[in-house]
Structure formats: C-alpha cells, structure tokens
Amino acid sequence: NAGVTQTPKFQVLKTGQSMTLQCAQDMNHEYMSWYRQDPGMGLRLIHYSVGAGITDQGEVPNGYNVSRSTTEDFPLRLLSAAPSQTSVYFCASSRPGSLVHEQFFGPGTRLTVL
Amino acid sequence: AQKITQTQPGMFVQEKEAVTLDCTYDTSDPSYGLFWYKQPSSGEMIFLIYQGSYDQQNATEGRYSLNFQKARKSANLVISASQLGDSAMYFCAMRENLGRRALTFGSGTRLQVQP
C-alpha cells in the first residue's frame, strides 16, 4: 500500500492564481480530511468528507473548495490564492469503524503564495 | 475556548532519561479519543499512541505511555529512555464522537534530546 499520497510536495503561487492540491489513498478509507499547519501551530481542519459524494466544512474553510467523486481521491482547490494561504497542507484518511480511528497523514504539500 | 492545550512550547531532556509532555483537553462529549503525533524535522505526522475515553487502563506503545487522568482532563505523554531520534515536535489531538469526528490539535511541544 502507498498509504496517503499528496502532490505536489512544493508549490509557489502568485496572488490570485488557482490550483488544486491532490490527495489519494489506497486503503479504502471512507473518511478523508484536509488540514493546514501554519508556523508554530498545530493542524487546523479545512474540509472533510465521510464518503464519496459527501463533504463538509471544517474550522477554516474560506478560500478552499473540495469534492469527493471517488473513495480514493479528495482534491483541495484554492480558488484565488492569497498570501494568508501560505502554509503546509496535510491530507489524512481513516476508517471510522476501526477501534482507534487513527488518521493516516500524507507527507504534506508546502505552499507559498507571493 | 481552547479544546487542546499544550503549555510547554519547548522541552529539553537528557538522553536515556524519561520526559513528560503535558496535554489538557476540554470537551462535553462523553465519548472521545486522545492521540499523540510526532512530527520530526522532515515534516511528516507519525501516530504514536491513542487513549479512548472509556479505556480503563493507560495506553502504552513501546517507550510511549499516556498518563490519562479523566477527571482532570489531562492526557500527558511519557517517553521513557529518551533517544536522540525522539527530538521532534509532539502534538496532542482529540477526536470527539459527536460532530465532525476530525482531530483537533494542540499547538505542540518541541522536544530536544541532548546527548
């Protein structure tokens, strides 16, 4: 299993540009989520999905869109990048029925918005 | 109000000694889970240990143990016999069974193990 994969690893955008951060998992996990990590802080939830076709907002959803057309993929779209979105983005997945329901994290995408 | 509080921004420990990283939490959900993750300088998030709110015993995983005091709402991580490779950021997180069921993270503690 590859686990949770994220692309790209690094990205630099100019203010106003749009882009999609890709996330895929091969563990057949129903639950997927996106977090952002700003310097000196813990991770904060952006959006999450409890299954294909179902998404919902997290703590900091503004400026981001998601969709979940398959179990495997959960892309995060930045509609019009702003410097405040400079951060490290983590995708995670888990299987809610498991005892621990631990979240498996991807390696992260480091995004800089100029 | 902060749901997860880690009051130690940085900690130092000598190699081979034990260290306790503090975590307090706030929830009204009777069913929840508490997690600790390690984030080395390479940036990945590594799951260390889990404690369920109904678990009677403190969780242990190798050199990691979780000192769970439910009445005090604390879930401290204890690392025994520290190794140089333990130097990293450590995050405490909580998952509540009601609502989003996602993780809420604390701000982290940077642990440095000295030889």
Interface residues on A facing B, Cβ-Cβ cutoff 8 A: 31, 33, 35, 40-45, 48, 50, 56, 58, 88, 90, 92, 96, 99-105, 107-108, 110
pLDDT value, residue A97: 65
pLDDT at A99 over 60: no
Q: Please, which residues bridge with residue A25 across strands?
A: A4
pLDDT tens per residue across span B6-32: 999 999 999 999 999 999 999 998 889
- For residue B60, the surrounding DSSP H or E stretch is strand B60-61
B60 — pLDDT class (breaks 50, 70, 90): very high
pLDDT at A112 over 90: yes
pLDDT tens per residue across span A45-92: 999 998 999 999 999 999 999 999 999 999 999 999 999 999 999 999
